[in-house]
Amino acid sequence: MKRRRFLTIAAALLACPAGATEADFVWTGTGFGGALSLRLSGLAPAQAPRLTHRITQEVARLEGLFSLFRNSALTRLNRDGHLAGPPPDLLALLRLARQVHEATDGAFDPSVQPLWQAIATGGDSAAARGRVGLSQLRLSDREIRLGPGQALTLNGIAQGWAADRIAGLLRDAGFGPALIDMGEIAAVGPRPDGTPWQVALAGPEGQVLGRARLEDRALATSAPRGTLIGADHQPHILGPQGQSPLWRTVSVSAPSAALADALSTAFCLMPRARIDRALTAFPGTRLELLA
């Protein structure tokens, strides 16, 4: 399990007991390479099977768009270099990725996939780095097109997008309050007692360094050395311009989990002054932990 995923799951588990009741509905599953969970208060027992079905269907739909490990819209885009009639979720996610890319001076860049693959497999990383650059991505309602030799990874944003979609599903159906962990954490409403969810912020060694207060808000944590790749054991969060991570753990909260996810990934590579400047581009975002 990636440290990044362990930290977010640990944070969710630490948050749940204070807001839990015996009547809470708990769903657990797998997706996006790890464990997923949801805790929902006030659900009638007769509604549980229908809600479980809807959640699992939505997770499967999103994996069919964003996964690198199955036949998905993303793998087809990477294989062919273009994708006609792109699904709305994929198009919207990439437009958000571009916004974060611009606000972080290129630190967030999903086009690092060839570099990640080269480092992980002992390939030509110098040649792969020459293919990195989100500015080559072309987006329209009719087509997504990559630059020559490019490929994308959405691992720094897709889990947050999934948490947002599940939160939206619950809100549309009138369910809540809920705490969702899809690799990133989203809170729907306050806890059953009306107070915000208290989510633990874990440091590089798993120690609790603080708490974030979430109410209709999301939290993401990134730890570059949570997964090491290649023979040189490099951090899995790669600097698109060759920069090395400056922080061991970064937690960001935001109105959306996808935004928190992308920003926490980028901020691992950025000095504090640049982080503060990037936050001003996204109202409602907060830096919760920098360690």
- The pLDDT of residue 53 is 92
- Which residue segment(s) compose the domain that 154 sits in? 1-291
pLDDT band at 12 (very low <50, low <70, confident <90, very high): very low
Range with lowest mean pLDDT among 32-41, 74-83, 124-133, 163-172: 32-41
Flag whether pLDDT at 8 surpasses 60. Answer: no
When divided into structural domains, the chain yields a total of 1
Flag whether pLDDT at 31 surpasses 50. Answer: yes
Range with lowest mean pLDDT among 44-48, 126-130, 255-259: 44-48
Read off the pLDDT of each residue in 15-30 and give the average, rounded to a whole number.
63
- The pLDDT of residue 46 is 86
Flag whether pLDDT at 17 surpasses 70. Answer: no
- The pairing of strands 250-254 and 286-290 is antiparallel
Range with lowest mean pLDDT among 66-70, 180-184, 203-207, 211-215: 203-207
pLDDT band at 23 (very low <50, low <70, confident <90, very high): low
- The pLDDT of residue 18 is 42
- The pLDDT of residue 41 is 81
Give the range with max mean pLDDT: 20-34, 38-52, 114-128: 114-128
Write down the pTM of the prediction. 0.90
Q: Between these two residues, 106 and 3, which has the higher pLDDT value?
A: 106
Flag whether pLDDT at 168 surpasses 90. Answer: yes
3-state SS, the chain, equals CCHHHHHHHHHHHHHHHHHCCCCCEEEEEEECCEEEEEEECCCCHHHHHHHHHHHHHHHHHHHHHHCCCCCCHHHHHHHHCEEECCCHHHHHHHHHHHHHHHHCCCCCCHHHHHHHHHHHHCCCHHHHHCCCCHHHCEECCCEEECCCCCCCCCCCCHHHHHHHHHHHHHHHCCCCCEEEECCCEEEECCCCCCCCEEEEEECCCCCEEEEEEECCEEEEEECHHHCEECCCCEECCCCCCCCCCCCCCEEEEECCHHHHHHHHHHHCCCCHHHHHHHHCCCCCCEEEEEC
Indicate which CATH number applies to the domain containing 11.
Answer: 3.10.520.10
